[in-house]
Amino acid sequence: MCCEDLKEEIEISEEQYLKIDEILNMYQDPEGNLISILQKIQSELNYIPKVVISYISEKTKIYESKIFGVVTFYSQFRMAPIGENLIMLCQGTACHVNGSEKIGETIKEYLNIDVGETTDDNLFTYTNVACLGCCSLAPVMMIGDKTYGNLTTDKVKEILKTIQKKN
């Protein structure tokens, strides 16, 4: 096993294993469809736990190191659960020039988390992205499927506070 040093304490339910089996059975060539398989499993579980990488390897005979390599290479895959609200702060040129660094510091201070971390209440996960394609709204962030533009530090705090109140 390639990931023995990355052991985790997580339990996957029997129902989740059955769903994983169902996904694996959709493909006659699992190695050629590994990315699609991983996308479907992540959609089902919200992330790809290390124990699932081992399980996929066992079921498909694809080396665990290869699966791990795909999961860690592509930024779309997560090996840790994310919070209910995924904050994606744009770091593209327009956003950077218009103050995304200050916005990021505000998010970190307000939520008391760093990039890639999730709040203790699992309400927020904060991440930076290369570009959201909304340059005219710079600086911009997305939370879930909602885009927030022309951000200021005060506006960010108000957005986060509003989401916290709803939950």
Q: For residue range 18-41, what is the model confidence (pLDDT) as tens digits?
A: 999 999 999 999 999 999 999 999
The full set of domains in the chain, from first to last, is 4-73 (no CATH), 85-166 (3.40.30.10)
Q: What is the mean pLDDT of residues 74-88?
A: 90
Q: What is the pLDDT of residues 111-149, one digit of tens each?
A: 999 999 999 999 999 999 999 999 999 999 999 889 999
112: burial class by Cβ within 10 Å (0-12, 13-18, 19+)? exposed
The pairing of beta strand 146-148 with beta strand 124-129: unpaired
The three-class DSSP label of residue 30 is coil
Predicted local distance difference test score (pLDDT) of residue 46: 87
What pLDDT is recorded for position 42?
94
Check whether 8 has a pLDDT greater than 70. Answer: no
H or E stretch including 89? strand 85-90
Q: Which two tokens stand for residue 163?
A: 């989401």
Specify the pLDDT at position 9. Answer: 53
Residue ranges of alpha helices (H) inside 91-152 are: 93-97, 100-111
Q: What residue ranges in the chain does DSSP mark as E strands?
A: 85-90, 124-129, 141-143, 146-148
Report d(CA 127, CA 74) in Å as an integer. 15
Residues 6+ apart with CB under 8 A from 37: 23, 24, 26, 27, 30, 56
Which residue in 9, 64, 12 sits closest to 41, CA to CA?
12
User: Is 54's pLDDT higher than 90?
Assistant: yes
Contact 89, 126 (CB under 8 A): yes
pTM recorded for the entire structure:
0.71
* Sign of the dihedral defined by the CA atoms of residues 146, 167, 124, 108, in that order: positive
Mean pLDDT of 2-21: 72
Q: How confident is the model at residue 101 (pLDDT cuts 50, 70, 90)?
A: very high
